[in-house]
Amino acid sequence: MQITSFKQYEEDYKKSVENPEQFWGEVAQNFQWRKPWFKVLSWNFNEPNIKWFEGAKLNITENCLDRHLATNGDKPAIVWEPNNPEEESVTYTYKMLHERVCRFANVLKRNGAKKGDRICIYMPMVPELAIAVLACARIGAVHSVIFGGFSAKSIADRINDSQCKVVITADGSYRGNKQIPLKDVIDDALIGCPTVEKCIVLTHIRTPVSMLKGRDVWWEDEVKHVNDICEAEEMDAEDMLFILYTSGSTGKPKGVVHTCGGYMVYAGYTFSNVFNYQPGEVYFCTADIGWITGHSYIVYGPLSQGATSVLFEGIPTYPTPSRFWDIVEKHKVNTLYTAPTAIRSLMSYGEDPLNGKDLSSIRVLGSVGEPINEEAWHWFDEKIGHGKAPIVDTWWQTETGGIMISPIATVTPTKPSFATLPLPGIQPILVDENGNEIEGNGVMGNLCIKFPWPGMLRTTYGDHERCKQTYFSTYENLYFTGDGCLRDEDGYYRITGRVDDVLNVSGHRIGTAEVENAINMHAGVVESAVVGYPHDVKGQGIYAFVIYPEMHGEAELSKKDILQTVTRVIGAIAKPDKILFVSGLPKTRSGKIMRRILRKIAEGDTANLGDTSTLLDPGVVEEIIAAAKKL
């Protein structure tokens, strides 16, 4: 199933469009099924109703673990690199990982979890996180992993939305020289979560925690009470595998639902091809398992292909900005998959951190999460890849389950800042505002996908109508990505960024409405409007315009208070970079905030504000411009 030449890519692509069912049916043969499908695909984008590999039975963990045991049982599956480089790294072979997953699956059962139950996972980047994820999949429970940076309130909202029965967490986590008390955060969250019956707590940083009698149990105690034999639950291809919450243009995050069969095939196929993974190679994805990149390209994709996946607990700059390069050298990393924001941040330290580091093991480089600017692309290419490692700039989304538009390493000629060409099976089209296809090359438009692929979302948890409205209603019969896109003269695709009210801050998706809701919760704030602006390292920064007449004390103190409120309501990742206090916001006569104007002001481009004559009070714009200049 691995593509080895551009000619083969073209042939496979053609086949995947002309006969998608045959194409994906053949790809799926590379996986282990308990029962075959009777129909590869049935679909319509109106309801939407999408089914892949109908009738097939499987368990994804048999594909990620059991099937490797006979031939590759002693091969490293996960190599864990701790936050503190002085501590030992830990290697789990496929045999060991299988054993741990089965054991913990039995712990889940012992604590009342069964097929179909939702389980919330809020953990540091430790091997037990991957074990917890796979243990859920083993017993057919649906995992909902929540990134360790979210606040108690965000966790509670997510737990309640999907009525989780069990929570898996740790006492705390390390992030550089900081410690984060995860269990404390969970305790705050669970006050408002009536559906949670059990909380399993891993000891990690050894900070004191409170354990609630009857609800909270220790991971280490529990594993002593069970054995390591756990037959995998037989799942239907379309049974739910996981929920992952992501931000959209409305205030409330949506639970994107992925199912067992299609997701497995798509994550495995794309991993093997995009990175041109070769047996025995060491692959390092720097994402967190709390995001989709970690789900598909730290856990499921690599393990389904028997790969060695490095799992790193820490951050790129701790203890020094050489950390990534130390890890590459120490574990002889062959593929490094990271985010533009990390590249830009490391670039800013100059070349010193690279001095004396042996990066010769690197064969393939990858980028994900946001558009990569040319400067960062070239630095990555020259300084890290020494001009010899192809860069795969992979465009995709939580909703797509896996990589959609990307070069195939060693196959597709790359071009800086271009995600290049669609993978086999992916049929992108560009449309104008009215949904008319923009044909030909050298054009720009809104990016849509016109045919299903196995890894696509099936619904948004508990609210199918929302899935339909968000993705399938903007343009008839198309999946709308929310991204703007350019197709150049060569037919290469470059993603230009979101065209909706979603920000991409350091590769994290944040809805402007979510941040506004959080700011508005602060006592005394009347109203706020949040927009993005270009930020050298983060890609986009968050700029908040806030009406706060009863400000207490100094403006700086008030800003601190607001930042704290946002941290409490969402998490530190959503803290505005800039807050500007204003007396009014530019609104149309019908009361709509004209964000276009605020965006221009935030970008510092006030010469081209465009038409402001429809504003209720054009004077407010002058006032905001004057205040912004002083910020």
Going by the DSSP 8-state scheme, the letter that residue 392 receives in this structure is E
Does 495 participate in binding ligand WTA (rule CB under 6 A)?
A: yes
Which 238-257 positions form the footprint of ligand WTA (CB under 6 A)?
246
The values of phi and psi at residue 74, to 5°, are: -95, 5
Report, in Å, the least distance between residue 465 CB and ligand WTA. 21
Choices 72-80, 199-207, 369-377, 381-389 (CB under 6 A): range interacting with ligand WTA: 369-377
Q: Which two tokens stand for residue 476?
A: 């008839």
Does 368 participate in binding ligand WTA (rule CB under 6 A)?
A: yes
Does 460 participate in binding ligand WTA (rule CB under 6 A)?
A: no
Contact 411, 276 (CB under 8 A): yes
* Binding residue (CB under 6 A) for ligand WTA from 277, 395, 451, 472: 395
Does 292 participate in binding ligand WTA (rule CB under 6 A)?
A: yes
Report, in Å, the least distance between residue 394 CB and ligand WTA. 5
> How many Cβ atoms from other residues are within 10 Å of residue 234's Cβ?
14
* Binding residue (CB under 6 A) for ligand WTA from 103, 165, 204, 498: 498
Report, in Å, the least distance between residue 403 CB and ligand WTA. 8
In the bound complex, which residue of the shown chain has the CB atom lying closest to ligand WTA?
Answer: 398
Does 396 participate in binding ligand WTA (rule CB under 6 A)?
A: yes
Q: Which of 344/509 has CB closer to ligand WTA?
A: 509
For residue 41, what are the β-bridge partners?
52
Residue of 127, 562, 542 whose CA lies nearest to 313: 127
Does 448 participate in binding ligand WTA (rule CB under 6 A)?
A: no
Distance CA 576, CA 590 (A): 27
Does 268 participate in binding ligand WTA (rule CB under 6 A)?
A: no
Q: Which residue has the tokens 């706060």?
A: 548
Does 509 participate in binding ligand WTA (rule CB under 6 A)?
A: yes
- What does the CA dihedral 202, 203, 205, 211 come to, rounded to 10 degrees? 90
Distance CA 77, CA 98 (A): 10
* Binding residue (CB under 6 A) for ligand WTA from 482, 511, 541, 571: 482
Q: Which of 306/407 has CB closer to ligand WTA?
A: 407
Report, in Å, the least distance between residue 519 CB and ligand WTA. 22
Which 403-422 positions form the footprint of ligand WTA (CB under 6 A)?
419
Alpha helix segments (H runs only) across 478-630: 512-520, 555-569, 595-603, 619-630
Q: b/e per residue, 383-418, with b = 16+ CB within 10 A?
A: bbbeeebbbbbbbbbbbbbbbbbbbbbbbbebbbbb
Choices 389-397, 518-526, 591-599, 602-610 (CB under 6 A): range interacting with ligand WTA: 389-397
Q: Which two tokens stand for residue 457?
A: 């979302």
Report, in Å, the least distance between residue 196 CB and ligand WTA. 26
* Binding residue (CB under 6 A) for ligand WTA from 238, 370, 381, 516: 370
Residue of 608, 548, 612, 556 whose CA lies nearest to 584: 548
Q: Which of 205/499 has CB closer to ligand WTA?
A: 499
Q: By three-state DSSP, how is residue 197 classified?
A: coil
Choices 27-35, 177-185, 387-395, 577-585 (CB under 6 A): range interacting with ligand WTA: 387-395
CA atoms in the 13 A half-sphere facing the CB of 300? 34
Report, in Å, the least distance between residue 52 CB and ligand WTA. 20
Q: Which residue has the tokens 């594993």?
A: 223
Report, in Å, the least distance between residue 583 CB and ligand WTA. 34
Going by the DSSP 8-state scheme, the letter that residue 430 receives in this structure is E
Choices 44-52, 129-137, 363-371, 448-456 (CB under 6 A): range interacting with ligand WTA: 363-371
Report, in Å, the least distance between residue 497 CB and ligand WTA. 6
Task: Please count the residues of this chain forming the interface with ligand WTA, following the rule CB under 6 A.
Answer: 23
* Binding residue (CB under 6 A) for ligand WTA from 93, 322, 335, 394: 394
Does 525 participate in binding ligand WTA (rule CB under 6 A)?
A: no
Distance CA 626, CA 88 (A): 55
Choices 126-134, 329-337, 396-404, 451-459 (CB under 6 A): range interacting with ligand WTA: 396-404
- What does the CA dihedral 49, 52, 56, 59 come to, rounded to 10 degrees? -100
How far is the CA of 607 from the CAs of 175, 308, 600, 611, 625, in angstroms? 42, 53, 9, 12, 10
Q: Which of 285/525 has CB closer to ligand WTA?
A: 285
The values of phi and psi at residue 304, to 5°, are: -65, -20
Choices 73-81, 257-265, 327-335, 362-370 (CB under 6 A): range interacting with ligand WTA: 362-370
Q: By three-state DSSP, how is residue 448 classified?
A: strand
* Binding residue (CB under 6 A) for ligand WTA from 293, 309, 460, 474: 293
Does 334 participate in binding ligand WTA (rule CB under 6 A)?
A: no
Choices 181-189, 210-218, 347-355, 388-396 (CB under 6 A): range interacting with ligand WTA: 388-396
Report, in Å, the least distance between residue 431 CB and ligand WTA. 16
Report, in Å, the least distance between residue 292 CB and ligand WTA. 5
Alpha helix segments (H runs only) across 455-537: 464-467, 512-520
Report, in Å, the least distance between residue 161 CB and ligand WTA. 18
Distance CA 441, CA 350 (A): 38
Report, in Å, the least distance between residue 520 CB and ligand WTA. 25
Q: Which of 423/495 has CB closer to ligand WTA?
A: 495
Alpha helix segments (H runs only) across 73-151: 94-110, 127-139
> How many Cβ atoms from other residues are within 10 Å of residue 583's Cβ?
12
Does 149 participate in binding ligand WTA (rule CB under 6 A)?
A: no
Amino acid identity of residue 99, one-letter, is E
Burial class, 463, CB count within 10 angstroms (exposed 0-12 / middle 13-18 / buried 19+) = middle
Does 105 participate in binding ligand WTA (rule CB under 6 A)?
A: no
Residue of 248, 217, 240 whose CA lies nearest to 110: 217
Q: Which residues make up the interface to ligand WTA (CB under 6 A)?
A: 246, 291-293, 368-371, 393-398, 419, 481-483, 495, 497-498, 504, 509
